[in-house]
Amino acid sequence: MQRIQYESAPRLPPVVAVLLAIAALYFAREILVPLAVAVLLSFLLTPSVRFLERLRIGRLPSVLLVFLVSLACAGGVGYVVGNQLFDVLNELPKYKENLRTKMESLGGRPGGSLAKATASVQELSKELAAPKQDVPETPRRLSKTQKSAAPPAEVGKPVPVELVEPPPNALQSVRNIAGPLLAPIGKIVVIVIFTIVILIKREDLRNRVLRLLGRGRLPRATQAFDDAAERVTQYLRMQFLVNSVFGATIGVGLSVIGLPSALLWGALAGLLRFMPYLGPILGGALPSVMALAVFPGWRYPLMCLGLFLITELVVAYAVEPWLYGTHTGVSSLAILVSAAFWTTVWGPVGLVLSTPLTVCLLVLGRHAPQLEFLYVILGDEPVLEPEAELYQRLLALDQQEAQAVLDRAADGKTPLEIYDGILVPSLRLSEEDRHRGGLDTDRENFILQSMNEFIAGMASEHEDEIAGTDAGQRVLCLPAGDPADEITALMLCHALQLAGIPAVPLPRADLPGDSFANVKVEAADVICICALAPFALMSARTLSRRMRKRFPRQRILVGLWSRSGESEDFEQRLAKAFDVQVVTTLSDAMERLTTSPAIATLSGD
């Protein structure tokens, strides 16, 4: 049976697709916000549900039990906090005089500058808010007949009009009271229903989403689901734990200080910490303002503020980094931008959900190639390898920061690891750009000079580690052609000297020819040709042929510093043609050279 071929729909430009996605998030927020909250709650409650299921309790009883216990805990805390909130509202009039005294002390005497300015602003506000009086119109001239028909006393007198609304009936009273409450109650009911359904049908929903992504993408999609679930669940669990302990600490501390309704302020401080950036400020400002109203003087308000600042600093800079670790993987700037974005799209609820939603987007960008830009923008992992970052700073002619990059990347590494993992790859990037014509002469010279200085700096740092060597038996390091090859020869020489192996770098001016005839080569010497592949391959081949022709019995090692498998065929042909040993890394060269009987004896001494 012949399959029907459907034409693929044209793809939208990326900018249009992003704008449409933002518009959908905004206009569908009445449905998407409860759904997002329900998904996050399901992440938080799923471990408890699974625990009850392992105890041989069914799926539905486990979900209902966990949900009822959660609602009972939330309702109990809400009841106690609500009662304390009403008590605070009832007691506020008693603190009016105390607040007036503090405001006067801040503003000076009653007739001070601040008081006068405040009075002027209040007076101007009253004038602007007062209703404008209608200017009576100039009465038009009346004829004799109109004068006789209209009484003189009624001319120009406004007629008073009074609007009297009838008292509301019982249905209107209920609507006025319950109307403002219906919207939030309805959203809570929708969230509860969504959460219960997601917890009951979580495997079915997961499989349906996987099926939409395609059967051929099951490994990547499964990995993305597991990664997102692990990151979001761990983040929510740790955040709930940290904020609960934070609120309890603030509540106990305020109770010790003597602030009324300490449980209320502790609960608010814990809840508001779920809002990034703005929440902690509000959580500390509310009890501090309340302390200003309750306590005479400034001692206790400052104690409340100090309690909050100390607790927040300890939690934010010690507890959270230790507990969270790398569970979110979102950079600080990304959290700030996402908080502003989700608040604009979904309001205050978006601010609370911003970090978990950003974590989900980060996971999508990590596992979906089309959305990789999200992982680059939102992630906190370095997007440039150390060698690329070092090369970029050298391109910017910033040697100081390039040195800082090298120091960070070299922490805990040996010079040989630094050469192999950072400096040689960075030099290769430079050679690639130079051969493509994308590197001007000034930058090329700056990079080569900086590389020489980096090597000299490491040589001076490890000067005491260089073992004594016998000058009679050496490794002669020859650059194949370019200045970059000469730099790699210096790296190999330094690594060999640290291993106790005598090594001599020969500059390009001493290459075969009349100049090279002056260099004395002993029978035990090893000739090592250094070439930065793939650009110096032909130069390495030419030099290998000359060295083998001139020294037919000499051991020759050719270092083609290349990526793994980049020039494998050439390496095999070169080794067979001129009877040389070919290596691709400095580490391999060190291993080959130390296996030479004469060299091994020297290094053992």
pLDDT at 487: 92
Q: Alpha helices, DSSP H only, in 2-130? A: 14-27, 29-54, 59-91, 96-107, 113-129
Q: How confident is the model at residue 600 (pLDDT cuts 50, 70, 90)?
A: very low
pLDDT at 401: 92
Nearest to 421 by CA among 389, 397, 379: 389
Q: Is the pLDDT of residue 386 over 80?
A: yes
- Tell me which DSSP letter residue 139 carries: P
- The mean per-residue pLDDT over the stretch 32-49 comes to 89
Dihedral-angle region of residue 511 (phi above 0 means left; psi in -120 to 50 means alpha; beta otherwise): beta
| 498-538 pLDDT per residue, tens | 888 888 888 776 444 544 455 667 777 888 999 887 778 88
Q: Is the pLDDT of residue 389 over 70?
A: yes
- The mean per-residue pLDDT over the stretch 474-500 comes to 88
Average pLDDT, whole number, for the chain?
79
Q: Among 192-201, 299-308, 362-371, 455-464, whose mean pLDDT is lowest?
A: 362-371
Task: Quickly tell me which residue has 């050496």 as its tokens.
Answer: 474
Greater pLDDT, 9 or 293: 293
Give the C-alpha separation, 560 to 348, whole Å: 59
Q: Is the pLDDT of residue 58 over 70?
A: yes
Nearest to 483 by CA among 505, 463, 462, 501: 505
Domains of the chain, each with CATH number or no CATH = 328-382 (no CATH), 386-459 (1.10.1240.10), 468-604 (3.40.50.280)
What percent of the chain has pLDDT above 90? 11
Rounded to 5°, angle at Cα 547 from 542 and 549: 95
Q: Is the pLDDT of residue 42 over 60?
A: yes
| 207-216 pLDDT per residue, tens | 887 777 666 6
Give the C-alpha separation, 274 to 240, whole Å: 8
307 alpha carbon, distance to own chain's centre: 29
Q: How confident is the model at residue 579 (pLDDT cuts 50, 70, 90)?
A: confident
pLDDT at 65: 92
Nearest to 512 by CA among 559, 476, 546, 556: 546
Q: How confident is the model at residue 11 (pLDDT cuts 50, 70, 90)?
A: low
What percent of the chain has pLDDT above 70? 77
pLDDT at 173: 63
Give the C-alpha separation, 289 to 305, whole Å: 9
Look at residue 13 and give its three-state secondary structure.
Answer: coil
Q: Is the pLDDT of residue 341 over 50?
A: yes
Give the C-alpha separation, 516 to 150, whole Å: 130
Structure tokens, 254: 């305020």
pLDDT at 238: 84
Q: How confident is the model at residue 603 (pLDDT cuts 50, 70, 90)?
A: very low
Q: How confident is the model at residue 469 (pLDDT cuts 50, 70, 90)?
A: low
CB atoms within 10 A of CB 466: 14
Greater pLDDT, 302 or 115: 302
CA max distance for the chain: 143
| 222-278 pLDDT per residue, tens | 777 777 777 788 888 888 888 999 999 999 999 998 888 888 888 888 888 888 778
Q: Is the pLDDT of residue 597 over 60?
A: no
DSSP 162-173: ---PPPP-HHHH
Structure tokens, 11: 């793809």
Which residues have a Cβ under 8 Å from the Cβ of 457 and sit 6 or more positions away?
none
78 alpha carbon, distance to own chain's centre: 34
DSSP 434-501: HHTT-S-HHHHHHHHHHHHHHHHHHHHHTGGGPPP--TTS-EEEEE-SSHHHHHHHHHHHHHHHHTT-
- When mean pLDDT is compared over 9-23, 102-116, 233-247, 312-326, the highest value belongs to 233-247
Q: How confident is the model at residue 601 (pLDDT cuts 50, 70, 90)?
A: very low
| 294-329 pLDDT per residue, tens | 888 788 888 888 999 999 888 888 887 777 655 567
Q: Among 82-86, 131-135, 190-194, 222-226, whose mean pLDDT is lowest?
A: 131-135
pLDDT at 4: 47
pLDDT at 3: 46
CB-CB contact of 581 with 558 (8 Å): yes
Give the C-alpha separation, 83 to 64, whole Å: 28
Q: How confident is the model at residue 390 (pLDDT cuts 50, 70, 90)?
A: very high
Q: How confident is the model at residue 497 (pLDDT cuts 50, 70, 90)?
A: confident
Q: How confident is the model at residue 548 (pLDDT cuts 50, 70, 90)?
A: confident
pLDDT at 170: 62
